[in-house]
Amino acid sequence: MTRAVVLSHLGHELLVAPEPSLAPTRCALRSALPPLVAGDEVRLAEDGGAVLAVEALPRQTLLERQTARGPRPICANLDTLLITFASAPAPHGDLLDPLLAAAFDAGLEPWLLHNKCDQASPEAEALHEEFTALGFPVFRLSAKAGEGVEALRTALQGRRAAFAGQSGVGKSSLLNALMPEAAAKVGSLSERLNRGLGRGRHTTSVVRLYPLGASLTEGTLIDAPGLRRFVPLPVSTWALAKTFPDVAAAAHCRFRDCAHNQEPGCGVQAALADGTLSAERLARYRQCQAGPEAP
Ligand SMILES: Nc1nc2c(ncn2[C@@H]2O[C@H](COP(=O)(O)OP(=O)(O)OP(=O)(O)O)[C@@H](O)[C@H]2O)c(=O)[nH]1
Ligand SMILES: [Mg+2]
Ligand SMILES: [Zn+2]
């Protein structure tokens, strides 16, 4: 039986890339299969001339988000999450932190992509410096001018990565800059406004995987619609500490269960007092810990 990677889930069908050709092929799903997403691996069988996905192979990793109806898979078998921000729409750290935490909890490396660096923005520059100082990989990019694209392409060799970030930051534009043959649809901000606030606001409407080379081992890249507000599953203490290494480094407190409020001997309060930790970073830590309001 042929092995294939799921490129996209299209309602009742899958778009898959069977090995070794990786030529995109539509196939139906055997009814017993669990919900499959881009990056999943399946086995295919011929069924009276039609191609059928008959078996879902075990997942190495799974990125999920919380919905009103419970956790929902977004993409499978990633190793890297490309958390994208740009000068416009205005970036906010508190929208990026939950993506970092979700990446850690799913076992993925978060990379930060600072796009549209052809347009100056103090907010984006401040985040760029902040994430660099915290030790995260940050890439300076312009999909428009081509800046940084070669370095990102090299870094992505052999990786399984997906874009994440607000609508309009240029995820599909970066995909097209990295691999013009993807020819992903890109939307202008004015088009976006004309379409109003409905579902159609996102230019990219389905999650779709693109192989970076002739074989899957050369790497894969997933484009996804922008998430206006990404709602992660509850964040673990471990992932919170990885997302906020500055808070974690300060948290040498007298009490093991210190909530970093008014407890005596609190390292976090001491770091706030001597200026090594900013009140804004602590507020973002608390917000990420509490999680957003129920979706
Ligand atoms: N100035 C500038 N504009 C860019 C750059 N990259 C993308 N854009 C523009 O930003 C707008 C949105 O780009 P998209 O690639 O559609 O954004 P997206 O993140 O894929 O958006 P969704 O699919 O809705 O999530 C388009 O008008 C692009 O031309 C860049 O590096 N510089
Ligand atoms: Mg897009
Ligand atoms: Zn404390």
Q: What CATH number should be reported for the domain holding residue 279?
A: 1.10.40.50
Quick check: 169 pLDDT over 50? yes
Decide if 285 is inside a domain. yes
What's the pTM?
A: 0.94
Whether 119 and 89 share a structural domain: yes
- Residue 270: left if φ>0, alpha if ψ -120 to 50, beta else—which one? alpha
Whether 88 and 211 share a structural domain: yes
Instruction: Map 170-236 to HEC letters.
Output: CHHHHHHHHCHHHCCCCCCHHHHHHCCCCHHHCCCCCCEEEECCCCHHHCEEEECCCCCCCCCCCCC
Whether 8 and 68 share a structural domain: no
Decide if 231 is inside a domain. no
More confident position, 84 or 194: 84
Quick check: 293 pLDDT over 70? no
Quick one: pLDDT at residue 267? 97
Spatial distance between the Cα atoms of 130 and 136, rounded to a whole number of angstroms: 9
Quick one: pLDDT at residue 285? 96
Spatial distance between the Cα atoms of 293 and 15, rounded to a whole number of angstroms: 34
Whether 126 and 263 share a structural domain: no
User: How many Å lie between the centroid of ligand 3 and the Cα of residue 107?
Assistant: 27
Quick check: 166 pLDDT over 80? yes
More confident position, 184 or 62: 62
Segments forming the whole domain that contains residue 18: 2-56
Tens digit of pLDDT for each residue in 241-260?
999 999 999 999 999 999 99
Tens digit of pLDDT for each residue in 34-63?
889 999 999 999 888 889 999 999 999 999
Q: Domain boundary residue among 12, 40, 56?
A: 56
Whether 155 and 113 share a structural domain: yes
Which numbered atom of ligand 1 lies nearest the CA of 143? 31
What tokens were used for 163?
Answer: 């874009």
Whether 212 and 251 share a structural domain: no
Number of domains the chain is built from = 3
Decide if 235 is inside a domain. no
Which numbered atom of ligand 1 lies nearest the CA of 84? 19
User: How many Å lie between the centroid of ligand 2 and the Cα of residue 151?
Assistant: 21
Q: One-letter amino acid identity for 256?
A: R
Decide if 206 is inside a domain. yes
User: How many Å lie between the centroid of ligand 3 and the Cα of residue 290?
Assistant: 17
Question: Which residue's CA is minimally distant from atom 14 of ligand 1?
Answer: 170
Whether 116 and 214 share a structural domain: yes
Whether 52 and 72 share a structural domain: no
Whether 67 and 181 share a structural domain: yes
Whether 209 and 251 share a structural domain: no
Quick check: 190 pLDDT over 60? no
Whether 138 and 167 share a structural domain: yes
